[in-house]
């Protein structure tokens, strides 16, 4: 058992500096059993005792050593490592596992988390088998430095995406510096967007945002997660992630025709308008399929496509067909009118069904806010 602790080697708290420790008392430089028992009072003492007497791995190691020692004694083997030697080998293996785990997590820049920040990942499959990934970030403008410039007010956001890939540790940096005539409201969003094309696999990543204006270096926020791109299931329809925008006419596009202002907060427009975009894969060219869209309030207590009609806030069903050109997905850009729904949190779900085989896709679900 190892502990991630936000402490320095002198025992002082260091913001953003988490160290891997075999015992929390080691942060203060104490390593002897007598010191561990007394360091920091009961907390360290109880921790040490639990590791010494109750740790299952420790007891399993001791049990294995007893069996090994009895066999070695019976065989007259003089190379008996002793229990402590066997335990040292176990610790070496544990440390190797810990190093492997840590090297799989991209580094996070030193940042003081003072900027409200949300992000989402949108995945869309390409005909060549790769996946185009959009990482969308949204920072709270009230937490950013507004600088007066010619023509209005400028905000600046820098986003750094660090990712572990089969080729090793990689980074991408983008900046967005919009200039507006009047200062933004405190809860307005300043977006950033990073794109990446990836093969199927697991990709641990860190996404960090900074206030780009001078004099605020190190002010921002960050998030860590693992991006999973799964292989498609043969014969099963599949839906991409669902892009959500409050209005059209933005800078985000997949097909070169539909342009949306996609943000990860998924807030419906003031008039109740909700623009969505998603793609359908895994169907032959020219194949007909049914599209089902459902919206329910709050958290769904039953599966969304088993819910009774009175439980639905919104429902839409229509028939579609994949393009005649092989390999192209079915593309859907829809404006949903939710002006009669009361304020609150909702879930939007999409499912498609192959009309020839009757096979359903797994539902794709995303939150929205009215």
Q: Residue 24 pLDDT > 80, yes or no?
A: no
Q: Identify the pLDDT of residue 367.
A: 93
Q: Residue 337 pLDDT > 50, yes or no?
A: yes
- Which of 137, 125, 133, 176 is closest to 281 using CA atoms? 125
Structure tokens at 308: 């009774």
Q: Identify the pLDDT of residue 271.
A: 87
Q: Residue 47 pLDDT > 80, yes or no?
A: no
Threshold 0.75, pTM exceeds: no
Q: Residue 319 pLDDT > 90, yes or no?
A: yes
Most confident among 7-16, 46-55, 116-125, 267-276 (mean pLDDT): 116-125
How far apart are alpha carbons 157 and 184 in whole angstroms?
A: 14
Q: What percent of the chain has pLDDT over 70?
A: 71
Q: Residue 96 pLDDT > 90, yes or no?
A: no
Q: Residue 64 pLDDT > 50, yes or no?
A: yes
Q: Identify the pLDDT of residue 42.
A: 46
pLDDT digits 0-9 by tens, 196-248: 999 999 999 999 999 987 566 688 899 988 999 999 888 899 999 999 998 88
- The pLDDT confidence band at residue 289, using thresholds 50, 70 and 90, is very high
Q: How many CB atoms lie within 10 A of CB 150?
A: 6
Q: Residue 93 pLDDT > 90, yes or no?
A: no
Are 160 and 111 contacting, i.e. CB atoms less than 8 angstroms apart? Answer: no
Q: Residue 258 pLDDT > 90, yes or no?
A: no
Name the DSSP class of 341.
S
Q: Residue 292 pLDDT > 70, yes or no?
A: yes
Tell me how long the chain is.
Answer: 370
pLDDT digits 0-9 by tens, 152-209: 999 999 999 999 888 888 999 999 999 999 999 998 889 999 999 999 999 999 999 9
Q: Which residue has the tokens 């969505």?
A: 276
The SS3 assignment for 328 reads coil
How far apart are alpha carbons 242 and 361 in whole angstroms?
A: 14
How far apart are alpha carbons 287 and 328 in whole angstroms?
A: 12
Q: Residue 366 pLDDT > 90, yes or no?
A: yes
Pairing label, strands 179-180, 152-154: antiparallel
Q: DSSP string spanning 107-130?
A: -----EE-S-EEEEEEEEE-TTS-
- Which one has a higher pLDDT value, 299 or 363? 363
Q: Which residue has the tokens 């913001």?
A: 15
How far apart are alpha carbons 361 and 304 in whole angstroms?
A: 13
Q: Which helix (H) or strand (E) holds 223?
A: strand 219-229
Q: Residue 318 pLDDT > 80, yes or no?
A: yes
- The pLDDT confidence band at residue 364, using thresholds 50, 70 and 90, is very high
- The pLDDT confidence band at residue 14, using thresholds 50, 70 and 90, is very low
How far apart are alpha carbons 133 and 245 in whole angstroms?
A: 17
Q: Which helix (H) or strand (E) holds 45?
A: helix 42-49
- Name the phi and psi angles at 126, rounded to 5: -100, 155
Q: What percent of the chain has pLDDT over 90?
A: 41
Q: Residue 83 pLDDT > 80, yes or no?
A: no
Q: Which residue has the tokens 């945002």?
A: 209
Average pLDDT over residues 119-146: 93
Name the DSSP class of 51.
I
| Dihedral-angle region of residue 64 (phi above 0 means left; psi in -120 to 50 means alpha; beta otherwise) | alpha
């Amino acid at each position: 058992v190892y502990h991630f602790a936000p402490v320095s080697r002198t025992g002082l708290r260091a913001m953003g500096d988490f160290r891997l420790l075999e015992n929390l008392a080691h942060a203060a430089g104490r390593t002897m059993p007598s010191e561990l028992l007394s360091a920091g009072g009961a907390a360290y003492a109880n921790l040490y005792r639990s590791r010494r007497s109750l740790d299952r791995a420790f007891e399993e190691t001791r049990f294995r050593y007893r069996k090994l020692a009895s066999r070695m004694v019976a065989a007259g083997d003089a190379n008996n490592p002793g229990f402590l030697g066997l335990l040292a080998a176990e610790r070496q293996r544990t440390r190797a596992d810990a190093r492997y785990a840590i090297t799989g997590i991209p580094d996070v820049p030193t940042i003081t988390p003072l900027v409200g920040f949300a992000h989402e990942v949108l995945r869309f499959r390409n005909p060549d088998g790769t996946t185009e990934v959009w990482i969308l970030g949204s920072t709270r403008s009230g937490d950013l430095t507004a600088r007066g410039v010619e023509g209005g007010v400028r905000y600046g956001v820098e986003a750094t995406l660090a990712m572990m890939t089969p080729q090793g540790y990689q980074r991408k940096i983008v900046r967005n510096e919009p200039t507006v005539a009047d200062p933004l409201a405190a809860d307005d969003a300043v977006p950033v967007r990073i794109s990446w094309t990836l093969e199927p696999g697991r990709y641990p990543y860190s996404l960090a945002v900074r206030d780009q204006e001078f004099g605020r270096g190190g002010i921002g926020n960050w998030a860590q997660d693992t991006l999973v791109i799964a292989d498609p299931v043969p014969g099963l329809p599949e839906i991409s992630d669902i892009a959500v925008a409050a209005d059209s006419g933005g800078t985000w596009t997949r097909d070169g025709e539909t342009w949306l202002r996609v943000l990860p907060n998924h807030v419906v427009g003031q008039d109740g308008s909700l623009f969505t975009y998603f793609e359908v894969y895994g169907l032959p060219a020219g194949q007909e399929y049914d599209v089902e869209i459902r919206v329910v309030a709050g958290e769904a207590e039953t599966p969304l496509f088993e819910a009774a009609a009175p439980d639905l806030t919104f429902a839409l069903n229509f028939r579609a067909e994949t393009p005649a050109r092989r390999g192209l997905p079915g593309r859907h850009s829809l404006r949903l009118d939710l002006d009669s729904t009361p304020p609150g949190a909702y879930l939007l779900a999409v499912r498609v069904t192959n009309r020839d085989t009757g096979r359903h896709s797994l539902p794709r679900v995303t939150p929205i806010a009215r």
